Amino acid sequence: MTDWNALFQPWNGDEGDTHPEREHTSWAHPGWLAWNDHAVEVQVADFLARLSQQSSQGQKEWVAIETGVGQGYVTRRMAKAVHPTEIRGIWTFESNMEWNGRIRQLPFWPNTLQSCIKWERTPTPNQMSEADLVVLDSMDPWRKMEILLWSEVGKKGSLLFVHDTGNIHPPHDGHFTNGFLLQQLGIEGLWLENPRGAFLAQKGKPEPEERFKELWGHTLEQVGAFE
């Protein structure tokens, strides 16, 4: 039986202790931290908060999409990083409909007006075409479908972040196949050096703007400080 109270503790303010990512990814640098084997690495969540803040500045119609909400480590940080009256919204999606139904009952949403959990499992073409920042961390096959959708309808200048794209993972691993799909589609961007792998792209550019790349550089500096 699923212990929903335990699973939803992070949403209730108890994110628990972090531990070395090496417990999940054996080759990880000792500076990388994790909450568990499902959520993004701790430093990746903090990077996405900074990316949200940087990309939304001065953009009144700014919209972010996050898929694979789960326990909300990224969601809460993104919501805290942006100003609710100066953006259009953060649209979140959870493909597990049992999770989706329970997440939407949480008090977090009414108190965070710029964030909303959608009924759909995954973004529609219209929703994807309006997003300025797209963060993909959903389960298969949804993540691969979302990568393909952004490649087809993502608007010019929009940012794409895909988690779990592989970092020396074997070919049969889902991480590797996510990265392989990005290569097959010819999406240009920046392969990030986090243990589980990630990819950052900006539509219409061979690499993201320098200001966004610098944010990732700061993340690596923080990790390196644990030498």
Kindly indicate the confidence band of residue 176, based on its pLDDT and cuts at 50, 70 and 90: confident
Kindly indicate the confidence band of residue 167, based on its pLDDT and cuts at 50, 70 and 90: confident
SS3 37: coil
Cβ distance 32 to 195 under 8 Å? yes
Q: What pLDDT does 92 receive?
A: 95
Q: Torsions phi, psi of 143, nearest 5?
A: -60, -45
Identify the sign of the CA torsion 78, 195, 143, 186.
Answer: positive
Q: What pLDDT does 169 receive?
A: 66
Question: For all residues of the chain together, what is the average pLDDT?
Answer: 90
Please name the amino acid found at residue 113: L
DSSP calls for 94-130: -SSHHHHHHHTTSTTTTT-TTEEE-SSSS--HHHHHH
Average pLDDT over residues 122-148: 96
pLDDT tens by residue, 138-164:
999 999 999 999 999 999 999 999 999
Identify the sign of the CA torsion 118, 94, 54, 184.
Answer: negative
> What's the whole-model pTM score?
0.94
Domains and CATH numbers, the chain: 41-162+178-224 (3.40.50.150)
pLDDT tens by residue, 179-190:
999 999 999 999
Q: What pLDDT does 106 receive?
A: 87
Q: What pLDDT does 174 receive?
A: 60
Q: What pLDDT does 91 receive?
A: 94
Q: Say which residue, 173 or 117, is predicted with more confidence.
A: 117
Average pLDDT over residues 133-140: 96
